Amino acid sequence: MKCLFLIVGLVAVGLLFTSHPLLAEESSTERGDAMIAKYFEAETAKLEGRPVADIQSLEQWKTERPQRLEELKEMLGLMPWPEKTDLKVTYTGEVDHEEFTVKNLHYQSRPGLYVTGNLYIPKNIEGEVPAILYVCGHGKVKKGDVSYGNKTYYQHHGAWFARHGMVCLTIDTLQLGEIEGIHHGTYKYDMWWWNNRGYTPAGVEAWNCVRALDLLQSLPEVNDDKLGVTGRSGGGAYSWWVAALDDRIKAAVPVAGITDLRNHVVDGCVEGHCDCMFWVNTYRWDYSMLAAMVAPRPLMISNTDSDGIFPLDGVTRTYFSTRKIYSLYNATDDFALSIAPGPHKDTQQLRVPAFHWLREHLQGESPLIEVTAEKQFEVEQLRVFDTLPKDEKNTTIHESFTVVADEPEAPSSTSQWNEQSESWKAQLKKLSFAAWPKEESPVAVKEISNQTASGIRVQQFVFTSQDNIQLKLIQLGKADAQKPKLAVLNIVDDQGWQELQELVAYITDGVQKETASEEILASVKMLQNLPWQMVYIAPRGLGETQWNQDPKKQIQIRRRFQLLGQTLDGMRVYDTRRAIQAWRSIKKNQQTSLWLQASGNLAGIAVYASLFEPNITRLDLYELANDHRNGPEFLNVRRFMNLPEAVAMAAENSQVVIYSDDEKVANQKWSYPASVVKSLDWPAKNLQLRTLKSE
DSSP character string of 549-593:
--HHHHHHHHHHHHHTT--HHHHHHHHHHHHHHHHHHSGGGTTSE
* The pLDDT of residue 518: 87
What CA–CA distance (Å, rounded) separates 240 from 325? 16
The answer to whether 214 and 187 are in contact (CB under 8 A) is no
Digit-coded pLDDT (tens) for 399-428: 999 999 999 999 999 999 999 999 999 999
For CA atoms 118, 122, 127, 130, the dihedral sign is: negative
Q: What is the CA radius of gyration of the chain?
A: 29
The yes-or-no verdict on residue 211 having pLDDT over 50 is: yes
Share of the chain above pLDDT 70, in %: 95
The answer to whether 246 and 229 are in contact (CB under 8 A) is no
* The pLDDT of residue 19: 33
Q: Which of helix, strand or coil describes residue 462? A: strand
The yes-or-no verdict on residue 293 having pLDDT over 90 is: yes
What type of residue sits at position 183? H
More confident residue, 384 or 664: 384
Q: How many residues are listed for the chain in this entry? A: 695
Q: Which of 184, 275, 282 is nearest to 637 (CA)?
A: 282
Q: Which of 142, 138, 122, 140 is nearest to 130 (CA)?
A: 122
The CB density around residue 678, as the number of other CB atoms within 10 Å, is: 12
* The pLDDT of residue 13: 26
The yes-or-no verdict on residue 236 having pLDDT over 60 is: yes
Question: pLDDT band for position 26 (50/70/90)?
Answer: low
* The pLDDT of residue 20: 34
* The pLDDT of residue 540: 98
For CA atoms 228, 229, 230, 236, the dihedral sign is: negative
Task: Give all strands of the β-sheet with 456-466 in edge-to-edge order.
Answer: 445-453, 456-466, 469-478, 532-537, 486-491, 593-599, 616-622, 655-660, 687-691
The mean of the pLDDT values for the chain is 93
* The pLDDT of residue 481: 79
* The pLDDT of residue 485: 87
Strand partners, 253: 230
* The pLDDT of residue 589: 87
* The pLDDT of residue 516: 81
User: What does the pLDDT average to over 669-692?
Assistant: 96
Strand partners, 657: 620, 688
The CB density around residue 534, as the number of other CB atoms within 10 Å, is: 25
User: What does the pLDDT average to over 362-386?
Assistant: 94
What CA–CA distance (Å, rounded) separates 194 from 635? 9
What CA–CA distance (Å, rounded) separates 645 from 689? 16
The answer to whether 531 and 478 are in contact (CB under 8 A) is yes
* The pLDDT of residue 12: 29
Digit-coded pLDDT (tens) for 592-647: 999 999 999 999 999 999 999 999 999 999 999 999 999 999 999 999 999 999 99
* The pLDDT of residue 685: 96
Question: pLDDT band for position 61 (50/70/90)?
Answer: very high
Helix/strand/coil (H, E, C) string of 350-403? HHHHHHHHHHHHHCCCCCCCCCCCCCCCCHHHHCCCCCCCCCCCHHHHHHCCCC
The yes-or-no verdict on residue 10 having pLDDT over 50 is: no
What type of residue sits at position 518? E
What CA–CA distance (Å, rounded) separates 108 from 130? 23
Digit-coded pLDDT (tens) for 507-524: 988 766 777 888 888 999
The yes-or-no verdict on residue 9 having pLDDT over 60 is: no
Question: What domains can be seen in the chain, in order of their start residue?
Answer: 2-15+420-691 (3.40.50.1820), 81-399 (3.40.50.1820)
The yes-or-no verdict on residue 82 having pLDDT over 60 is: yes
